[in-house]
Structure 1
Amino acid sequence: MLLVRVMVGKVEKIDRLVNTLRSIPLRQSEQGWNCVTWVREALGALQADRKTLGTARMEWNKVRDAAMTYCQKKRDEHRFDGKGNYDMGKAATYDLTEQKEGIQ
């Protein structure tokens, strides 16, 4: 389930982005692996490439903390439990590069 989106950078070369993300394996059979592990590895690969993204915030702790804080904010606002008045067809979005919310 998609809860929120956090924009961490502006794409300069979409083909490189697609290739890099496709190269990050899913390791569902490994103990302790999860989607957060995948995102951390993907961000590391994009950061190492230095040609895929333009303006970007790639520091893992900042990205992780922003995503978790934003998700908790949306949870507190009842974004996910049906008690709020939100268009569930649109994902709540936070732009980390500009530190502002897009779609609420």
Structure 2
Amino acid sequence: MPSNKNRLYIALYPSGVANNEERKYHWGFLIGPKIESREEVPGARLHVKNSPLGWTFEEIPLQNVRNTTSLLARILIAKIEDEQRLINILRSLPVIQSDPNWRCRTWVAGALAEIAKDGKCVGTAELNWDKIEAFARSYVANKTASGRYQSGTDMSKPKPTWDMLENKESTP
């Protein structure tokens, strides 16, 4: 019987620091259903964000995980086996204030290491940060070069999604 477990995605957003390749994107996680048959697909965003008060962890429900404000792309990286366990891991990760080089991508890389070490919250998965980061940067750069983010109407459509488990694009 086929599984209908939720999926874990890496999400890329513009960071506002376009002239620094390493800091060009804001990184986070999205959780959404396997089947995305409706116009709006509910899910959640889990990430750290920098505010005037410092870095904070944020977990928010989304009406449509396929198209959040300013989302550039989703990269499917895992089938979730135990969602509460996964969320507890993400909630428990340290949020570092004292290191000026610590940021959202540092948190995501650390999260992937903890998810891999746990071995129970996800099943089939690609958790290698170096591979994910290189692919995600290239994927968004190619979409940008092809003009995907130039039109306001394009930004209202479901965002490009790549499935790293099946090595294929799953939405335009």
In which range does the TM-score fall when normalised by the shorter chain?
0.7 to 0.9
2:167 to 95, 99, 103: 99
Aligned residue number for residue 88 of structure 2 = 19
Whether the 8 Å CA contact 1:27–1:33 is kept in 2: the answer is yes
Task: State the distance in 2 between where 1:21 and 1:52 align.
Answer: 11
CA deviations 1:36-91 (Å, max 9, x no partner) are 111101101100000011101111211111111111111112222227x6253422
Q: How far does the alpha carbon of each residue in 1:15-52 deviate from its partner, in whole angstroms, 9 at most, with x for none?
A: 11111111123335531122111110110110000001
- Contact 1:28/1:34 (<8 A) preserved: no
TM-score, L = length of structure 1? 0.86
When you count helix as a share of all residues, which structure comes out higher? 1
Supply the RMSD in Å over aligned alpha carbons.
1.9
What SS does structure 1 have at the residue aligned with 2:154? coil
TM-score norm. by structure 2 comes to 0.54
SS of 1:67's equivalent in the other structure is helix
Q: 1:8 touches 1:56 (CA, 8 Å); kept in 2?
A: yes
- Partner in structure 1 of residue 139 of structure 2: 70
* Structure 2, unaligned runs of 5 or more: 1-12, 14-70
Whichever residue aligns with residue 100 of structure 1, its letter is: K
Please give the secondary structure, in 2, of the residue aligned with 1:25: coil
Instruction: Write the mapping of 1:3-18 to structure 2, written as runs, cut at 5 A.
Output: 3-18=72-87
Report if the CA contact (8 A) 2:149-2:155 is conserved: no
Partner residue in 1 for 2:115: 46
Cα distance between partner residues in 2 of 1:79 and 1:45: 33
**Residue identity matched to 2:121:** T
| Inter-CA distance 32–58: structure 2 relative to 1 (3 Å threshold) | same
SS of the residue aligned with 2:171? coil
What is the CA–CA distance in structure 1 between the aligned matches of 2:149 and 2:77, rounded to whole Å?
Answer: 23
Q: How many residues align?
A: 103
Unaligned runs of at least 5 residues, structure 1: none
Quick one: distance in 2 between partners of 1:78 and 1:22?
36
Larger strand share, 1 or 2: 2
Mapped pair 1:31 → 2:100? yes
